[in-house]
Each structure stands twice: as structure tokens, then as C-alpha cells.
Amino acid sequence: MLKAMVIRNLKLYFRDKAAVFFSLLGVLIIILLYVLFLGKMIAQTAEGFSDAVARFFTDSWVMAGVIASATMTTCLGGFGIMVEDKAKNISKDFESSPIPRSKLVLAYIISSVVIGLIMSVFTFLLGELYIVMLGGEFLSLHGLLKALGIIVLSVGASSAIVFLLVTFIKSMNAFSNLSILIGTLIGFLTGVYVPIGNLPVFIQNVIKIFPISHGAAALRQVMVQEAISLEHIPADIKAFMGIEFEVGGNIMPFWLYLAILFGTLVVFYFLSVLVVSKCKVRS
């Protein structure tokens, strides 16, 4: 029954072309802004390198942020099915059936994670094609495996955050507003619209607290490494571009970005279970 519910949710999502489009709308906006405006501004940070290397560097940098952003917006789109079922009282029909409520909730979570993985990997492949078309290179096998691992962790963390938010939403109108808000803010929170070094210290600290920004930083380290060895990039540029985060005067090690993503997954799903359990008791 769990498998059937997951398949049902996936079919509903991919059948709705508008839902798929709006899940990627924030990502598409970021790419459009980069092509039209942001590319030249960001390229100035790599002026010391040849034009080809500078282009490879900036394309890799922005695509890493785009992929990290996609992990959240696509997971959110996946949970739209759960909100729609609530709004149409379909969830009450399910709850009156022999299906355990825990399996219903788990089906929504699994569906969102699968959707997030499919769409994020799709975005990653498009990003790689874009980089190669403009003179860059595909990631090495080692880099590819690391990037996919980061995407999996980012999708897990994103789905956990989004699930907690969506548990409080009862109508499609509220869900649409949440989608617009997240789609608008995600580019800033992952440091794509504006490099983190251009922002006030308070905003920089907010970005460093936001878990998915750590997924973006980890992806940048992996993808930028293909263009320019991290050892050859000045420390101030890495901090300015959000390739590495500095906290308390120390540069965060790579493993800590991954630990934060995993910790977010555990903590937010735990909080979500508490919220869902209380809602069940009240109902």
C-alpha cells in the first residue's frame, strides 16, 4: 500500500506540468539573471586567470548554487500534493481507510524526496551541459560521485525543512504564497544573486545559519575544483564567493558542511514528527 501511495503521488506531480515548471521557476530565474546580468559581475573575481578558466570558474560557481536551490524548491513542489489532499479533504478519506496514518505521511515524504532527487539531478546534468557548451569540462568520476552525494544530503535536508513548514499549511493559497517566498529568497540564501562577501555581516551570518547554503558551499568546492584548484584560489576570494565559510575566524572543514546537512535532516524530521503527532492527538 505504501508503494501504491508513492506511485500515486509521483504520477500526480509529473502529470501536472505547471507544478513541475513552478518547482523549477526559481532556478530558471537564477540562470536567466546570471546569463543577462550576474555573469560579468562575478567574472571580475577571476580576473587573474585566462578568459576560458575564468568562465569555467564562474559557470561552475553559479551552477553549484542553482543545484542547491533546486533541492529545496523541487522538494517543496513535491509536498504540494499533500497540501492539495488536505485542501480537498482527500486526506480524510485516506485516514478513514485501513491505511495507517503513519504510512500516508511516509508516502508523502518519500514522494517529495524522490521528486527532489529526480529534479535536482536533472538540474545538475543541465548545469554540466551548460558548462561544457561554454568551454568547460565535465566533472571527473570522483567529483561526480561527491557532487551526487552532496545532492542526496541536500535533498534530505531540504525535504525535512519543507515538511516542517508544510505541516502548518492547510490551503493551496497559503502553499502558493510559501512557494513564491521560498523561490524568491532561495537565490539570496544560497549566495547566488549576490556573492556573500557583498552583503552586510548580519545577512552573511543568516546565510551561514541556513542549512542549504552549506550544500551550496560544498558543491562549489567540488565543481569549482575542476576549473581552478582550490589551493590556487586566494582565501579572501573563497570567503567572498561563499566557496568556503569562515566561522569564528576559522575555515570550516569540508566534512562539517555534510554533517550540518545530515544534522538538519535528523532534527527537522524529528520536529515534524512531533508536530504531526500533536495534530493527530487534537484531531
Q: Which of 13-17, 112-116, 156-160 has the lowest mean pLDDT?
A: 13-17
Q: What is the pLDDT of residue 281?
A: 41
Mean pLDDT of 37-43: 59
CB atoms inside a 10 Å sphere around CB 94: 15
Mean pLDDT of 44-48: 60
> pLDDT at residue 220 above 90?
yes
Confidence label for 34 from pLDDT (cuts 50, 70 and 90) = low
Cβ-contact 26, 73 below 8 angstroms: yes
Cβ-contact 190, 216 below 8 angstroms: yes
Coil, strand or helix: which one is 250?
A: strand
CB atoms inside a 10 Å sphere around CB 206: 14
Q: What is the pLDDT of residue 283?
A: 46
Query: Within a 13 Å sphere around the CA of 241, how many CA atoms are in the beta-carbon half?
Result: 28
Dihedral of the alpha carbons of 199, 221, 34, 204, in degrees to the nearest 10: -10
H/E/C letters for each residue in 254-281?
HHHHHHHHHHHHHHHHHHHHHHHHHHHH
Q: What is the pLDDT of residue 213?
A: 95
- How many residues does this entry show for the chain? 283
Provide φ and ψ at 253, rounded to 5°.
-70, 155
Confidence label for 251 from pLDDT (cuts 50, 70 and 90) = very high
pLDDT top residue among 102 and 232? 232
Cα–Cα distance measured from residue 262 to residue 80, given in angstroms and rounded to the nearest whole number: 24
Q: Which of 151, 161, 184, 180 is nearest to 67 (CA)?
A: 151
Mean pLDDT of 159-180: 90
Cβ-contact 80, 19 below 8 angstroms: yes
Q: What is the pLDDT of residue 40?
A: 59
Q: Across the chain, what does the average pLDDT equal?
A: 85
> pLDDT at residue 25 above 80?
no
End-to-end CA distance of the chain: 24
Tell me the whole-structure pTM to 2 decimals. 0.90
Q: What is the pLDDT of residue 9?
A: 87
> pLDDT at residue 39 above 60?
no
Q: Which of 203, 178, 173, 146 is nearest to 72 (CA)?
A: 178
Cα–Cα distance measured from residue 224 to residue 18, given in angstroms and rounded to the nearest whole number: 33
> pLDDT at residue 139 above 70?
yes
Q: 23-27, 156-160, 231-235, 274-278 — which one is most confidently predicted on average?
A: 156-160
Q: Fill in the amino acid letter for 27.
A: V
What are the sequence ranges of the domains in the chain? Answer: 2-282
* pLDDT tens-digit readout, 88-104: 877 666 666 667 777 88
CA torsion sign, 260 to 261 to 264 to 265?
negative
Mean pLDDT of 134-146: 91
